[in-house]
Structure 1
Amino acid sequence: MSGIFFLLPIALALGGLFTWLFVRAAREGQFDDLDDPPERMLRDE
């Protein structure tokens, strides 16, 4: 039972960190254009 008092705050902190990183990346537009970069690689010569 003492392990839950150690692991639960770590799990909540990691979950909050990854949520914050995802929201930050979404606001910066990282997920706006997912189709063009692979096609751009094929078109550039």
Structure 2
Amino acid sequence: MNVLIYLIPVALGLGALGLVAFLWSVRTGQYSDLDGAAERILDDEADRRPDR
């Protein structure tokens, strides 16, 4: 039962760390262009170099 004294703050700390990381990624624009990356994967012209 004494282990809960350590586990509860650790769990809350990890949850807060995850929330901070998520909010940082939203503020820096990581989710601003979700369709662009999906379309770049399918674009064959982006894979070709001019020297080929």
Query: After TM superposition, which residue ranges in structure 1, 4 or more long, deviate above 6 angstroms?
Result: none
Higher normalized contact order (CA 8 Å, seq sep 6+, divided by chain length): 1
Structure 2 counterpart SS, 1:31: coil
Kindly indicate which of the two structures has a greater share of residues assigned to helix.
Answer: 1
Whether 1:6 and 2:6 are equivalent positions in the alignment is yes
Residues 3-44 of structure 1 deviation map (CA, whole Å, 9 limit, x = unaligned):
110100100110010000000000000011111112112224
Unpaired runs of 5+ residues, structure 2, are 46-52
How many residues align? The count is 45
Partner of 2:43: 43
Alignment root-mean-square deviation, CA: 1.1
Partner of 1:33: 33
